[in-house]
Structure 1
Amino acid sequence: MGRLSKLRIVDPVLTNLSIGYSNAEFIGQSLMPVVEVEKEGGKIPKFGKESFRLYKTERALRAKSNRMNPEDLGGVDVILDEHDLEYPIDYREDQESAFPLEQAAVQTTTEAIQLRREKMIADIAQSPANYAAGNKKQLSATEKFTAAGSDPVGVVEDGKEAIRMKIGRRPNTMVIGASAYKTLKAHPQLIEKIKYSMKGIVTVDLLKEIFEVENIAVGEAIFADDKDRFTDIWGANIVLAYVPLQRGSQQRTPYEPSYGYTLRKKGNPVVDTRVEDGKLEIVRNTDIFRPYLLGADAGYLITGING
């Protein structure tokens, strides 16, 4: 064990703070929830139609058992990435600060790593190249939701049906980019549908009823480039997906058919601290993960919402 390893101290309190921290603006886990794996590399199933198929299971008296006809199970080689950020605290800052700098360091590094994860998921989910021709829709000038006479409900219904015809289940998750959500809230078709509701404005809860999708999340997160130019992580797009919902306290596994998962090495994230040159306390946050699209047939991408 090296000298630095001996000097670093894993802090369980700060680690738990990092594990428990969540930014409501990060919604990537709605599409690719986190599941823990034992190793940083390996092979997991890539889900095809068989994983989602509904089978006849009833058996008549004295009849033979119903036998599945397994297809070749496809696999995906997975490799996880280490994500690591450290935050320096000068002893003088620590003495003068009116708030706990260690906690601020954990929150800052955790949010930065989570922002990176959100961007990774969004890039995968919003790339048309990741979908078959029947699982994506580029809206035309007359179909875009800013156009007069456009039909958001019909477009979403077509997407839901495309997924159902591929996997035998309707999508239960929808992710809407912030700018697309703004357009939907002002769309005459949706306003007409909710005009007798008590709220009188289009909300996420009302969209769940209109689109008949159980879980809807709006992607509000933004990122800044090296020139401090801010950009939406989630563009003017909609992603429909089938993602198995969490069953109480039961842990997810990567073997349950789903649109995708974020694979994380078990035991992460970890926060450790060390003292550098007697003047700086270094708070370091480490997480090991990578998001994977494992069931593209269970997804549908709608692009060009705003033209």
Structure 2
Amino acid sequence: MKSTAIFNHVLTRTASEYAVNEAEYAAGALFPVFPAAVQAARFPVWLRDNLLTVPAVKPRAAGAPYERADLTLDEDTFATRDYGIELPLDDRQKAIYASALDADRGKVQRGTRILLLNKEQRCHDLATGGGVPSSSPGTKWDAAGGDPIGDIKAAREVIHDNCGLDPNVAIIPRDVFNILIELDQIRDKYKYTQGGNITAQILAAILQVDRVVVAGTVKNAAAEGQAISVAKVWGDSVVLAHVSATLDLESPSFGRTFAWSGYTGAKGGEIAVMSYRENNPPALIHQLKHDVDEKIAAAACGYHLSNVLG
């Protein structure tokens, strides 16, 4: 027998905070959340014409209206899908904890990680897909003569030429980051002004972006039942992008996550927690709703540097 599922405000907040604190997940930086009131709709896609085509403005005659200008926008559609998951918390297992809330939080955090890791893979596939401008360094960054700063500067200029904006986010996989911070080319940029280790914040300043996300998510690439084979989700792909966190859909932004808040109830977020009881076995079931669709909103605002390591 099951009870009615109810919206769990406390654990929904836990899911939201846990998501925000996952520093190694890049999806949130490239595809910020847009709370959608509907499950599917058309949305405007920013075009390069918006930058290059500027109407000539003539002087207004007395009594005449002002000329009007509007963006030339293309359209795409989003249609969210329910990626939800349930995690049962057996009453006997819960009794082990000194605080029952700790047991609930642990289950919700595990569920959140599952959903975020799935999202990370989907966003990786979009950001490194065929629609995004891309190239591979002629000399790998871990080889003699590698020029990561030069390669990134060239990618910056492509983005600027394509959309008139500079990238403000760089996704750098953990393995690539560990190589970069030991390169003389990188260290020479800051050694005369600072000491100690090069952090993501310092690397962001060197690369002239607001934020570097050191993408470190891993997954088991082996088939079910086989020995675990650890794989890095981002491999050695570096992505630069201009991303807008505003809710203005006409503002140029590389990607967006459309989250159907009207269904989940997670206002301003993307994961909502519903809880209900069942008696056989006696357990509390935490249902995490994640109804989203990640979309490239302006491919011209991004660049993919593939296979940067040898």
TM range (shorter): 0.7 to 0.9
Residue in 1 that maps onto 2:249:
254
- Report whether the alignment pairs 1:123 with 2:164: no
Q: Residue 299 of structure 2 aligns with which residue?
A: 296
The total of aligned residue pairs comes to 292
C-alpha contact 2:32 2:245 (8 A) present in aligned 1: no
Match of 1:11 among 8, 11, 27: 8
CA, structure 1 residues 194+107, in 2 after alignment: closer, same or farther (shift >3 Å)?
same
Alignment CA distance shift 1:74-1:233 (3 Å): same
User: Are the aligned partners of 2:34 and 2:258 in contact in 1 as well (CA < 8 Å)?
Assistant: yes
For structure 2, which runs of at least 5 residues remain unmatched after alignment?
Answer: none
DSSP-derived class of the 2:158 partner? helix
Separation of aligned partners in 2, 1:7 and 1:67: 54
- Assess, with a 3 A threshold, how the Cα gap between structure 1 residues 57 and 186 changes in structure 2: closer, same or farther: farther
Taking the aligned partners of 1:126 and 1:20, their CA distance within structure 2 comes to: 28
Which amino acid in 1 is paired with 2:88? P
On the 8 A contact 1:59/1:65 being kept in 2, the answer is no
Deviations for 1:117-143, whole angstroms, at most 9, x for unmatched residues? 11211121122x122xxx211123xx2
Distance 1:298 1:188 in 2: 30
Aligned letter for 2:275? T
How far the C-alpha of 1:86 sits from its partner, in A, is 1.1
Structure 1 gap ranges (5+): 247-251
Residues 65 and 199 (structure 1), Cα distance of their counterparts in 2 relative to 1, 3 Å cut = farther
Closer, same or farther: CA 201–11 of 1 in aligned 2, 3 Å: closer
TM-score by length of 1: 0.86
Letter in 2 for 1:121: C
Matches within 5 A, 1:106-255: 106-127=108-129, 129-131=130-132, 135-140=133-138, 143-225=139-221, 226=224, 227=226, 228-245=228-245, 252-255=247-250
Q: Could you say which residue in structure 2 is the equivalent of 1:249?
A: none
Is 1:20 equivalent to 2:22 in the alignment? no
Q: Measure, in 1, the Cα distance between the counterparts of 2:61 and 2:185.
A: 55
Distance change (3 Å), C-alpha of 1:281 and 1:148: same
Answer with 52-61 or 10-19: which moved more: 52-61
Question: Against the structure 1 CA distance between its residues 55 and 209, is the aligned structure 2 distance closer, same or farther, given a 3 Å change threshold?
Answer: farther
The range that moved more, 280-289 or 97-106, is: 97-106
Any conservation in 1 of the 2:45–2:76 contact (CA below 8 Å)?
Answer: yes
Aligned alpha-carbon RMSD (Å)? 2.5
Q: Which residue of 1 aligns with 2:29?
A: 30
**Residues 18 and 201 of structure 1: CA distance in aligned 2, closer, same or farther (over 3 Å):** closer
Residue equivalent to 2:284 = 281
Give CA-to-partner distance per residue, 1:80-139, whole Å, 9 cap, x none: 110111111222122232343212111111121111111211121122x122xxx21112
Calculate the TM-score normalised by the size of structure 2. Answer: 0.85
Q: Is the 8 A contact 1:138 1:304 kept in 2?
A: yes
Structure 1, residues 271-292: CA drift from partner, whole Å, max 9, x if none? Answer: 1222223512211111111211
Q: Which of 195-204 and 167-176 deviates more?
A: 195-204
One-letter amino acid of the counterpart of residue 298, structure 2 = G
1:130 match: secondary structure: coil
Q: Which moved more, 1:154-163 or 1:210-219?
A: 210-219
Work out whether 1:39 is the aligned partner of 2:38. Answer: yes
Q: How far, CA to CA, are the matches of 1:241 and 1:193 in structure 2?
A: 22
Q: What fraction of aligned residue pairs are identical, expressed as a percent?
A: 23
Shift of 1:66: 6.0
Distance 1:232 1:97 in 2: 34
The Cα offsets for residues 5-27 of structure 1, whole Å up to 9 and x where unpaired, read as x6222222222222332222212
